[in-house]
Amino acid sequence: MAVEIIMPKLGMSMEEGTVVEWLKKKGDPVKKGESIVVISSDKIEKDIEAPQDGVLLEIIVQQDETAEVGKVIGYIGQEGEVLKEADHESVAISMKEEIEAISETMLRVSPAARKLAHEAGIDLRRVSGSGPKGRITRADVEKAIQTRQASSQLESEEQRFTQINKEAINTSESINLKKKMSGQISEMAIEQKDVTVKPITGMRKVIATRMFASLHQTAQLTIHMKADITKLMEVNENIKNELRDESTIKFTITDFIARAVILSLRTHKQMNSLYQDGRIYTYDSVHLGIAVAVENGLVVPVIRYAEKLSLKEISQKIKELSTRAREGALSSEEMTGSTFTITSLGAYGVEFFTPVLNPPEVGILGVGTAEDVPVLVGDIVEKRKKLPLSLTFDHQVIDGAPASQFLGMVKHYLENPYQLFYS
């Protein structure tokens, strides 16, 4: 009997998912527990395993297509098995649009290309296929979108020129303007030939939406300080030398920064807040988000109740969550509920930058790359290691003075590293 492959619910807020890739083709044998399809929600990608041995009888939801949570995206059964009438009806409904398009146009079109063309309003009869036997691929549709956009922009420029020219007609300004605009239009036509157009989808689309909303719904201000971590580096080196056999204890700068932030948030609770629905929610417990760069964007796994953890436990938690984030193994719940976030560009040689708030949080700390700088200590010039810190906060909730006090306390803990162990 055929078994349904269902679009799973990866998180409480997930309503639909996208099929990223089918790892098996229709008719391929599968083993129970074997990954057969990759799906994604707003925040995570996950492999879906076969619920039983058999063959992949039917694919209902094609690559790049979406389906509501709980909907059938495919069937697994035994070789030679025929789907029941109800199953066939489901398949027929899901494939109706594709079958009608093929009947009407007699074109060879990939499902991803057909979906993109439908969303963009592209007439497939006007698209030349570059695939085998003239099959229209997603790249062909993207090129058609690019061409249409170029034509639209040229038309807009021409219309703008016409309007301006009418207003300045019979003047020398009109003549000069015409030459200038004509040059711009010609230049634009040349530049558009080298443009690749790619729709924003999946995680990238979610990030774009959230960042746009963050900048338009909050009053963001960023302040900067440098912490002298010379002593911190010495302490960490001593720990490595003295605990060389303890392979599980290897602290990183991020571990110390996280601990310093947690201790500072316990004192400056206003920074450990969320702002939503016109209300400020201030938390006693610290749920610390650590931004991790992944292949498709950025995720923020959360260390819950971080104030209860020792430096060693924080270090272990950061390593565990970061590894699982890069493997795409985090659940949606592990990436929600943070009250403050740390993000770092130090590995890329960036000094100061302006981190964007992770709404509805009211604070985020950006960490730059530590550099050796000459510092005058009395009459002697010494080499000291300075760490750039950039704090972005929502000025709707927090003023500059308390935000500066919070950042100053983070700096204090980093410059007095022994307090990170015993506070």
- The number of helix segments (H) and strand segments (E) in the chain equals 10, 19
Q: Are 137 and 129 in contact (CB under 8 A)?
A: yes
Q: Are 403 and 391 in contact (CB under 8 A)?
A: yes
Which DSSP state fits 346? G
Rounded CA gap, 250 and 314, in Å?
A: 12
Identify whether 87 is a catalytic site residue. Answer: no
Place of tokens 């939406």: 209
Name residue 391's beta-bridge partners: 223, 365
Rounded CA gap, 113 and 132, in Å?
A: 14
Q: Are 411 and 389 in contact (CB under 8 A)?
A: yes
Rounded CA gap, 367 and 34, in Å?
A: 41
Task: Look at the chain and count its residues.
Answer: 423
Identify whether 395 is a catalytic site residue. Answer: yes
Rounded CA gap, 282 and 268, in Å?
A: 10
Q: Which position among 28, 53, 372, 399 bears the catalytic label?
A: 399
- Amino acid 239 reads I
Angle of helix 400-415 relative to helix 253-267, nearest 10 degrees, comes to: 130
User: What would the two tokens of residue 47 be?
Assistant: 């492999």
Residue 335, CA atoms < 13 Å, CB-side half-sphere? 24
3-state DSSP assignment of residue 362? coil
Q: Are 168 and 176 in contact (CB under 8 A)?
A: no
Rounded CA gap, 381 and 373, in Å?
A: 10
3-state helix, strand, coil in the chain (%, to 5): 45, 25, 35
Q: Which position among 228, 284, 395, 412 bears the catalytic label?
A: 395
Name residue 5's beta-bridge partners: 74
Which residues are the active-site residues?
395, 399
